[in-house]
Amino acid sequence: DDGAVGGQLRVLPDTDGERLLLGIGQLTEWARANGSGAMITLDPSGPPEQEPTVVSSGYINPFAFDVVTAPDAALWVADNAVGDDVERIGRADLADRDDHSASGVDDRAPASMLALDDETLLICGFLDGELQRWDVGAATPSFVETVGPCLTGVTTVDVGGESGGAQIIVTATADALVALPGP
């Protein structure tokens, strides 16, 4: 299959154990059979032929997503766009893509997302090569600032040792890993 399955994989706590979370792009065989791309979960202990649980749907390519675990298990997603459509950001655990906010930023192709806390997301853009900070604490997500370069991935790394606790942000570009000041 030449479709797109999300670039990230997350483990979600569940009342019955853990579930794997992934994004399925609209060009996959599964999405064509089900009408659109979706955010889905799978039982990591389940059989290979298990049916996924659809969390939300209507996506083009939900490649960038992350879970904020406190104060609740909020699932944020940034969905790519094609043609005249617009990229959207929203809570995938609360609504389908059509109810998410247009990002207002064209041609980013979100490739990775990192939730710093329940109000701040870092979103890496594959097309513009930028790591952007977004405020998601208000009703509508809004761009705050460009933090640094980023092409395909973003994470935080503890650098303070056992007694420190300091963190830096690390992004992946086409040529290198880039260390940026911590959150």
H helices of the chain, where?
A: 29-34, 161-164
pTM of the model: 0.88
What is the reported pLDDT for 7?
58
Is the pLDDT at 81 greater than 90? The verdict is no
pLDDT tens column, 14-63: 666 788 999 988 888 888 898 889 999 999 889 999 999 999 999 988 98
Is the pLDDT at 2 greater than 60? The verdict is no
Euclidean distance between CA atoms 27 and 2, whole angstroms: 7
Q: In sequence order, what DSSP letters do the residues of 151-175 get, joined into one string?
A: SSEEEEEE-SHHHH--EEEEEE-SS
